[in-house]
Each structure stands twice: as structure tokens, then as C-alpha cells.
Amino acid sequence: MPNSVLIINCGSSSIKFALLLKDQNFRIHGLAENLGTPNARIKGVTMGNEPVDIHIPNADHKEALEVGLSRIANHKPDAIGHRIVHGGKLTQAELITDDIIDIIRAATPLAPLHNPAHLVGIEATRRLFPDLPQVAVFDTAFHQTMPAHAYRYAVPKYLYTEHNVRRYGFHGTSHAYVSERGSELAGSYKKGGWLTAHLGNGSSTCAIWNGQSIDTSMGLTPLEGLVMGTRSGDVDPSLHSFLAKNLGWDIYKIDKMLNSQSGLLGLSDLSNDMRTLIEASEKGHEDATLAIEVFCYRLAKSLAALSCGLPRLDGLFFTGGIGENSAFIREKTLSYLPHFDFNFSKEKNDSLKRGTEGRIDAGTGPQIWVVPTDEEGRIAQETTLVVNQKMSTSNVKKSQAEITTA
């Protein structure tokens, strides 16, 4: 059973890593950024909580991992968990083998920015730690319980059967963790009907019934759904042909605009950062005020829509940087849901301290909770589960072999 799990979250030019030590409930974090450029560096904190900033000009993923991990050499991990955005149709975390690598590679057209970077990270850690078990934990896996009427698009069937065009959903580790922890706090662990709102730079909602995802706001890619930091969320699909026909834009330009120049940034023409927008709005910045209003209205609309999938609504969980920290956004969102019998407590909402979990309704109607997410903890937990299963399976095989040869 692993005592320490290294969590790797590999982007195209960055790696977030964290070492979680089970016994001491202790974590060490690091971030390698600008990889492959002269400005590549590693930032983090030492065991003694000292800040670290190491310049590693032109380092690639493997070099960055070598340098980063040499700083925590006293704590060699027992297992490695990789966060993988797209796992295609895989329904759970998997031990990384050549076959699983092929499946991650095959899902690349569905996550072209993320999956190739994850493969680079897997390749690097496999070379650095050839003897360690490594596990892939997929953002999409939790949503594989969605029924077909939630995951199918109303487009010709062959696009689904031959090209896998369907809704997958993302942020699965966060929705899974938050709904489990939240329902536990509410005294009905993995029971009943809940909505989760993961609100950060990327945002999504999810409807969960008895611990299983039954619908979510993101779709084929993480662009569908809510207004996000720089992502538009839902737009009329004809926007693409409108821009192509009238402005002569090609698909790459449209993709870039919708993913990197839209959302809060596009609406406000100021920033993708909610804190900055709230401050600007307080000083009278009209576009910042509008961006916040659109964000909250569209979020409320998504929660109301997802509630259709639930036989019963027991409550709502807020999480993510915005959901955990902004009493203002929580209050504004709930003001757009007056017909759900939420009995919101302004006093409890305002008094909740940053990063703490707590209930913010007045005790009647569907419950409302703030539940800080813990994606790293969840990845470590899933990695441990898969490694334990593998060890018990190989022990069973060993004893069967011993019986056979005895």
C-alpha cells in the first residue's frame, strides 16, 4: 500500500506536481513552467516551507521532473498518479500500461491541447521511475455514468458511432470528491440528488444521483457550458459559419477566440480573473459588472437545467476558486434561482472564511454547502485504490501458482 503518492499534472509547457505523504497527511507542491523556453523555471516550497525558484533554461518535461524531484529525494514516492483530461470511454482510473497509453493517445483528437502533454509526462516519469506503479486518473471517467439522453448530441448517428462525437464532461475528480464529501457532511453519504458548481478559471456544473454523475455542463470538449475565465461556454453553433462567411475567419482563429479571448475576459475587456472584476465593478466598471452578471445568470440557468435529471433535489455544493471564496458570487447566483425553495442564509454565507467548508442555508429547503475541492487528494486516493487492487490480484495469482505447483 503506497505511503507516498506523486501527483503529476502535465500541461504543454508546464507541470504541476505534488507529493502526498499518507502518514503525515503532508503535501509538497511544485510548478515547472515555460518549459522548452529560456525562461523555464521551477517554483515551489521546500519541506521547511522555504520558497524555491530555480531557473532551468530550455529544460524539457523530463529535465524539469528530474530537477524538481531531486529536491524531495528523501521522499521517493511509492506510486505515481497522473491527471489525464480525456480517457475516451474509460470509466475508472487505470494502471498505466502500453495499452492504456494507446487509449490516451487515441483520445488526442478530443483533447488536442492536453492529452499529448500528459503522454510526455508519463514517458518522463516511466523513464525516471521504471519500477514504480503509475496510474492514470481521468477527468472524464466520473461522467461515464451519464445516460445516453444526457450524453448524445442531436446530430447524425454515425458521428457518434464512427467518430465518438458525444458529451464526455470534465472536472470529474472535483465533482466526484465534492459530491462525496458534501453528501457526507449532509449526513447522506453518496445518497440523494445534488448539484455541484465547480467555479474556477474553468467552470462546470454537475448533477449527481446516489453518487453517480447523471449530467454535466461540459461536453465533447471543456468549452461547452458555463462562462469561464477565457472560454465562452455555450454559443449558437452557427456563430462559426457567421464568422467564416462574414469576417473570413478560419476554424483555428474561431477556436482561439472561443477558448482564449472570450468568457469573463471577452465580456469585460479587462480580465479573466473574478477578483479583479469584482474590484473593478465596485469602482463602477460597467463591462466588469456585466461580465459578473452574465457569469451568475448562466450558472443559475445551467443548475436549473441540470436539476431536470434529478428525481429529487437535496442540495447544492459550491467549489473552485470562485465558489469557495466569493460569498458575493454565491449570493448573486442564488438570487437567480428563487423558485427552488433554497433558504439562503446571507449571514452564514458572509461569515464563511476562505477555504473552509460550511453550510450556508437557514436549515429548511434544499441544503447549500461550500465544499473546498481536493483534486490532488482524490487522485492520490484513486491511485492508491488501483495499486492496492493490483497488489491483491497479483498476490491471488501468486498463491494460485503456489497451489498449482505444490
Catalytic residues: 139
Binding of residue 289 to ligand AMP (CB under 6 A): no
Interface residue with ligand AMP, options 56, 141, 150, 274 (CB under 6 A): 274
Binding of residue 366 to ligand AMP (CB under 6 A): no
Considering only CA atoms, which of 168, 138, 145, 312 is closest in space to residue 214?
145
Q: What is the DSSP string of 278-309?
A: HHHHHTT-HHHHHHHHHHHHHHHHHHHHHHTT
299-334 b/e (C-beta count within 10 Å ≥ 16 → b)? bbbbbeebbebbeebbbbbbbbbbbbbbbbbbebbb
Binding of residue 14 to ligand AMP (CB under 6 A): no
C-alpha cell read off for 27: 503535501
Interface residue with ligand AMP, options 220, 278, 290, 294 (CB under 6 A): 278
Contacts (CB under 6 A) with ligand AMP, residues 163-202: 200-201
Question: 30 or 229, CB closer to ligand AMP?
Answer: 229
Question: 11 or 320, CB closer to ligand AMP?
Answer: 320
Question: 137 or 228, CB closer to ligand AMP?
Answer: 228
Interface residue with ligand AMP, options 55, 89, 256, 275 (CB under 6 A): 275
Beta carbons within 10 angstroms of residue 53's beta carbon? 8
Binding of residue 326 to ligand AMP (CB under 6 A): yes
Considering only CA atoms, which of 358, 354, 357 is closest in space to residue 372?
357
Q: What is the DSSP string of 169-181?
A: ---HHHHHHHHHH
Binding of residue 371 to ligand AMP (CB under 6 A): no
Binding of residue 42 to ligand AMP (CB under 6 A): no
Phi-psi map region of 372: left, alpha, beta (phi>0 left; psi -120 to 50 alpha): beta
Residue 14 to residue 33: CA distance in whole angstroms: 4
Per CB under 6 A, the segment of 61-69, 134-142, 159-167, 273-281 that binds ligand AMP is 273-281
Binding of residue 222 to ligand AMP (CB under 6 A): no
How many residues touch ligand AMP under the rule CB under 6 A: the total is: 12
- We find the least distance from the C-beta atom of residue 292 to ligand AMP, in angstroms, to be 10
CA gyration radius for the chain?
22
Per CB under 6 A, the segment of 50-58, 91-99, 319-327, 356-364 that binds ligand AMP is 319-327
Question: 349 or 384, CB closer to ligand AMP?
Answer: 349
Helix (H) or strand (E) run with residue 321 in it: helix 320-325
Interface residue with ligand AMP, options 325, 367, 381, 384 (CB under 6 A): 325
Question: 7 or 322, CB closer to ligand AMP?
Answer: 322
Per CB under 6 A, the segment of 234-242, 308-316, 318-326, 380-388 that binds ligand AMP is 318-326
Helix (H) or strand (E) run with residue 394 in it: helix 375-405
Question: Residues near 386 by Cβ (< 8 Å), separated by ≥ 6?
Answer: 93, 94, 95, 133, 135
Interface residue with ligand AMP, options 63, 273, 357, 374 (CB under 6 A): 273
Residue 227 to residue 235: CA distance in whole angstroms: 10
Interface residue with ligand AMP, options 322, 337, 352, 370 (CB under 6 A): 322
Question: 43 or 191, CB closer to ligand AMP?
Answer: 43
Between the CA atoms of 67, 12, 203 and 352, what dihedral angle is there, to the nearest 10 degrees? 10
Question: 192 or 263, CB closer to ligand AMP?
Answer: 263
Residue 19 to residue 376: CA distance in whole angstroms: 9
Per CB under 6 A, the segment of 102-110, 143-151, 268-276, 360-368 that binds ligand AMP is 268-276
Our separate counts of H helices and E strands in the chain read 15, 14
Give me the residues that bind ligand AMP (CB under 6 A), please.
200-201, 229, 273-275, 278, 320-322, 325-326
